[in-house]
């Protein structure tokens, strides 16, 4: 049976990563970053690779010409290889955002920023960049996006940087704690699959309005505050949030902060079937930073998204959303 483009590309990434993993005695993810660099540079850049291994790799690399493939096929194949490497040894907050969510958030960004041709976008917890790349690969042809990604994990960021090169996407990456001062100008759009948990740096947390008075602060609350600070007045923020975000003991403080700084545009509950358990379930929260002349929507868009495979139910939700945009986003 003939292989599909994504299968062919995955085989290339996987086979050559496994060869380099054995040769360099490193982890699969480190080897994947190395093979990605080789593919982009069109040469083997590791001087310690033996001649026999070099020939094996060159034969594999010669079988596929990357420019012949769509950017999103490259992204998906690279994503599958990263998922393989993450399977046994990755922290919960480093799980990759599923494709379907990336596509749906891309649709929402297009609707909320309709008419804007130059958009700056920031992901302050970018990881390997899968969510950001899904958005960049699906933007309208006449829209130019200036993209930034921040992450504290240097290996994930290296994988993201190489993924951007392979997909011919221009992204500026910063390897740092995203809750420290960022050297990035305010942006039109912030997108973030919020890292949920406690933030260990109490001294830095003291700089935030949403810090806890005792004990470690919630990282996801601080990421929301940092994101709002780095959005332009009138800019939009798209967060993947845990369903229990507004039920914790710190929720009243978060609610008050949001009331002061943003307008809530939409809360879209995602289907439970998308997640391993009810506790892991998430929603999409859409905010707009306050600005003189910007008014809140007549009503917040509230919806429970059905299984994406349920076409009739999805059509009904999309019609509801289109009607909401017509009523609330005129002009």
Each residue's pLDDT tens digit, 270-327: 988 887 777 788 999 999 999 999 999 999 999 999 887 888 998 899 999 999 999 8
Q: Domain 92-328 is in which class?
A: alpha beta
In this structure, which long-range contacts are made by residues 250-256, counting pairs with CB atoms below 8 Å and at least 24 apart in sequence? 250/210, 250/212, 250/218, 250/221, 253/209, 253/210, 253/221, 254/210, 254/221, 254/224
Angle, CA of 132, 108 and 9, to the nearest 5°:
40
Measured distance CA(168)–CA(235) in Å, rounded: 26
Q: Which residues contact 323 (CB under 8 A, 6 or more apart)?
A: none
Could you tell me the two tokens for 41? Answer: 């540079």
Per-residue confidence at 330, pLDDT binned at 50, 70, 90?
A: low
The DSSP symbol for 324 reads H
Matching residue, tokens 């951007």: 164
CA dihedral 38, 43, 45, 49 (to 10 degrees): 100
Architecture of domain 5-86: Orthogonal Bundle (1.10)
Residue pair 280/193 in contact (Cβ under 8 Å)? The answer is: no
- Which of 265, 270, 292 has the alpha carbon at shortest distance from 281? 270
Domain boundaries in the chain? 5-86, 92-328
Measured distance CA(305)–CA(307) in Å, rounded: 7
93: pLDDT strictly greater than 70? no
- What confidence score (pLDDT) does residue 196 get? 93
Other beta carbons within 10 angstroms of residue 277's beta carbon come to 7
Per-residue confidence at 97, pLDDT binned at 50, 70, 90?
A: low
Angle, CA of 105, 197 and 76, to the nearest 5°:
35
Alpha-carbon torsion 230, 235, 239, 245, what sign? Answer: positive
Span 226-250, mean pLDDT? Answer: 95
Residue pair 70/138 in contact (Cβ under 8 Å)? The answer is: no
Helices (H) and strands (E) in the chain, counts: 11, 10
240: pLDDT strictly greater than 60? yes
Phi, psi dihedrals of residue 162, rounded to the nearest 5°? -70, -40
């Amino acid at each position: 049976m003939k292989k599909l483009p994504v299968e062919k590309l995955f085989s290339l990434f996987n086979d050559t990563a496994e060869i380099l993993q054995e040769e360099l005695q490193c982890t699969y993810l480190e080897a994947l970053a190395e093979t990605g660099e080789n593919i982009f540079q069109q040469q083997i850049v590791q001087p310690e690779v033996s001649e026999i291994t070099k020939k094996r790799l060159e034969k594999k690399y010669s079988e596929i010409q990357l420019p012949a493939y769509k950017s999103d096929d490259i992204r998906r194949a690279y994503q599958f290889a990263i998922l393989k490497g993450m399977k046994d040894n990755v922290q919960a907050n480093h799980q990759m955002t599923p494709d379907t969510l990336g596509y749906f958030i891309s649709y929402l960004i297009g609707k909320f920023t309709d008419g804007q041709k130059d958009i700056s976008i920031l992901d302050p917890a970018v990881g390997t960049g899968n969510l950001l790349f899904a958005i960049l690969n699906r933007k309208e042809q006449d829209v130019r996006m200036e993209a930034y990604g921040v992450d504290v994990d240097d290996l994930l960021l290296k994988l993201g940087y190489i993924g951007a090169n392979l997909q011919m996407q221009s992204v500026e990456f910063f390897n740092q704690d995203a809750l420290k001062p960022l050297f990035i100008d305010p942006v039109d759009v912030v997108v973030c699959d919020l890292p949920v948990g406690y933030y260990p740096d109490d001294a830095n947390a003291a700089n935030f309005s949403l810090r806890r008075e005792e004990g470690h602060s919630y990282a996801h609350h601080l990421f929301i505050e940092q994101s709002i600070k780095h959005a332009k007045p009138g800019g939009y923020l798209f967060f993947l949030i845990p369903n229990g975000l507004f039920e914790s003991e710190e929720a009243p403080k978060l609610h008050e902060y949001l009331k002061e700084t943003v307008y809530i545009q939409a809360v879209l509950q995602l289907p439970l079937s998308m997640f391993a358990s009810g506790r892991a379930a998430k929603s999409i929260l859409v905010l707009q930073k306050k600005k003189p002349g910007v008014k809140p929507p007549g009503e917040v868009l509230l919806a429970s998204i059905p299984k994406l495979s349920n076409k009739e139910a999805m059509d009904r939700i999309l019609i509801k959303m289109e009607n909401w945009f017509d009523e609330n986003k005129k002009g």
